[in-house]
A and B are shown apart, each in its own frame.
Chain A
Amino acid sequence: MTMNILKRKAKKQKQSASHKKWTIGFLIAALVIWVFYTYIMYNLPDGPQTIFQNWLPPTTVNEAMVWVICALGLNIVVGYAGLLDLGFVAFWAIGGYSAGWFMSTFFQQANLHFLSPKDVAKQPGIHFTFWMVLGLGGLICAIFGIIIGAPTLRLKSDYLALVTLGFGEIIPQFFTNGENIAGFNLSNGTKGISPVDNISIGGRILGPFDFSWKFAIFVFLTAVMVFISLRLRKGRLGRAWLAIREDELAASMMGVPLMSTKLAAYAVGAFSGGVGGVAFATHVNGVFADRFNFSISIILLAMVVLGGMGNVWGVMVGALLVAWINSTGLPAFGDLVNSTFKTNINFPSYNFLLFGGVLILMMLFKREGMIPESRLKAILHEADDTTSNVGGAH
């Protein structure tokens, strides 16, 4: 008995030690990238600089960080609480539009300023500071998360996936057709809202090409999300989520309030999606309705699954990798192959095959992802042990 407790203690220490290692690694990597893009990149000779511009331009890195923020949010819903969400793009969109509403000249009739950057002080519209919009966008998304979550709570897992998918379809369509909601222009339709205000930090205004400082901000946001994820995971709520993920019935018998626990997962996940949406809006300097489609939800899910559901570091690595392949890696690789072998293959069109194939193969052979969470790995392979599973057909 004591042996067991000791073993468990040792395991716990090992886990927190690994978290420490990953945290330090993450911060060092972020610092290296930041220093590189601020001081070194533009002083390099032309040759290496072009290589970096082709293979790892700063805009790709920043976009990948936005994906990480959203994937971490989805990880809470899917990885921790085990609720399959196929419409996460809805939160990304709502977050984006909060940025469009609260930090641009879009609402001409209003004239609200709050700690806004100096360059927009004279302009009409609603101008809140970026930091406040982050919170605001996150909160709006959290409320929507609860609204979306509430009707699904009575449902089985597949139906739940379907309802989230439905919301993921409705909300972007709402924004696409939103230029005339009973005569009121809410989203500017397909034209989108652009530009949004720049981020101002300590009196300094970050222009659209200030990639390295934006990178620093995105890293900070990611770090906050990681911190929230890890702390929640350890606490009462996190343990309740895992219990629900593993056996909903047993969890409810043990006194876990299913309703509020699930809603909390939706709310926290959606909050993160909203933060990601606001960050993305400042990254591309606008919100455009046609960007928000189903493939975003699927790519986010792929990131979480490939990286390792339930493990924040795995999800982060998965998100960085997939985002990079999607935006830069595959086209750059295609250019390289085409120019060396004098071929003319359209590599980005293989995107579907790559993602589809990887999803299938991972599910068949490495269900727990690249950097798995040990507990989830055990569950996912439970069913392989057919001798102990004679009676269960579920």
Chain B
Amino acid sequence: MSIFTSGYQARLDRRRFFERSLSTVAGFGILFWLGINFAKSPSQFFQASLIGLSNGVLYALIALGYTLVYGIIELINFAHGDLFMLSAVFSANFISIWFHKTSSGPAAWGIFLMCLVTVMVFAATVNVGIERFAYRRLRRAPKLAPLITAVGVSFVLQFIGLRWNGSGPKTWNSVLPAGSFHIASVSIPFTTILSFAITAPLLLLMSWIVTRTRQGKAMRATAQDQDAARLMGINVDRTISFTFALGGALAGAAGLLFQQTRGLTSYNLGYQLGLIAFTSAVMGGIGNLQGAVLGALLIGLVQGLNDGLPIGLGQQWSQTVVFSILILLMAFRPTGLLGKAVTEKV
């Protein structure tokens, strides 16, 4: 018996050593790459990081929806990215068509804020509806069933997007103030500042709801053990609906921000961004809220640096870089950066 354990221990040690040395080498490689890029052109370095971070904020909003839903019912909600897409299309229509605002100005900013509230309600409602009609019945079914249903829902949402937005991408005028200011030679657009300014309170509010309120407590309890939560008098169905509403509202805000900062909508937007957002959620440790935000910012940063630095793989390899990170992370640290190791419930 002792031979077994020591052999096992040795193997584990060897493996740990291998993983550790590999990650050290990779870490130094990345530092070296960043270093030479920084030396070559510091302003470009900061510019790329800024673009990356402003993408990362968007990813964070979407990633939180994934992580919330996964945390509570262990479902990869493939439709979440498409909900984001639908919100972007909704906001474009709301601002530019229903309220005819195509240029910046105080009235347009008012509409923008109105749209923020409306689109959050809209996306939350859609998400709750999806949960009610598609996922709820499958809560006790084998995992494959809800996952495939989510893919189906994603297709239906894409269809709605296709009908609503047309088959090609559409460009829109932003109502946010254009222009930028400079720090040294790095230009910082006002829209970036604005998206930080809108996202940060949303994230704080979210974190407050989950950690401080009664409803948040119910969410955490349901995530831990549905049956026990039910026995403690928690309305599990309503709690899960609430979680979907919360995730949906954040995706709605992300949709508006994306549409206004990029000025672009397209029916197949959700799939790519959703995938990246989910990658960030996994990177931070799925089910972990701070982790999702951290992962999203990191992924955004990596993408921004890869796309924008003078010595890099360039934009055409962007997806490959993101997904390679995902796969390496899954292989060596499946719990994510901030996740704790959990044994699977048997």
Contacts and interface: CB of A to CB of B under 8 A. Distances in A.
Contacts of B278: 162
A133 to B, nearest CB: 27
Nearest to A174: B320
Interface in B303-325: 316-317, 319-320, 323-324
A386 B139 CA distance: 12
A298 interface: yes
Contact of A151 (B138, B156, B227, B330): B330
B345 A170 contact: no
Given A152-B330, A352-B159, A393-B226, A170 B152 contact: no
Given A152-B330, A155-B334, A357 B156 contact: yes
A379 B326 contact: no
A349 B162 contact: yes
A380 interface: yes
A356 B143 contact: no
A301 B78 CA distance: 14
Given A167-B327, A301-B151, A360 B74 contact: no
B204 interface: no
Given A358-B152, A363-B149, A393-B345, A177 B316 contact: yes
A380 B74 CA distance: 18
B22 interface: no
B40 to A, nearest CB: 21
Contacts of B282: 159, 162
Given A151-B330, A169-B319, A352-B162, A364 B156 contact: no
Interface bracket on B: 35 or more
Nearest to A168: B323
B240 interface: no
Contact of B344 (A151, A156, A352, A364): A156
A159 B334 contact: yes
Interface of B is mostly: helix
A305 B152 CA distance: 12
A364 B152 CA distance: 11
A339 interface: no
B320 A394 contact: no
B91 interface: no
A380 B320 contact: no
A294 interface: yes
A393 B240 CA distance: 14
Interface in B112-158: 134, 137-138, 140-149, 151-158
Interface of A is mostly: helix
Interface in A320-364: 349-350, 352-353, 355-360, 363-364
Contact of B330 (A82, A155, A356): A155
A173 B320 contact: yes
A360 B345 CA distance: 27
Interface in B185-237: 225-227
B345 A394 contact: yes
B327 A163 contact: yes
A391 B346 CA distance: 11
A156 B336 CA distance: 13
A353 B227 CA distance: 35
Contacts of A43: none
B148 A359 contact: yes
B317 A161 contact: no
A17 interface: no
Question: Which of B142, B271, B327 gathers the greatest number of chain A CB atoms within 10 Å?
Answer: B142
22 contacts: A152-B331, A155-B334, A158-B70, A159-B334, A161-B76, A166-B279, A166-B323, A166-B326, A170-B320, A173-B319, A177-B316, A177-B317, A298-B151, A352-B155, A353-B155, A359-B148, A360-B156, A363-B138, A383-B141, A383-B142, A393-B225, A394-B346
The 8 closest A-B pairs by CB, nearest first: A356-B155, A359-B152, A151-B331, A352-B159, A166-B323, A356-B156, A360-B152, A353-B159
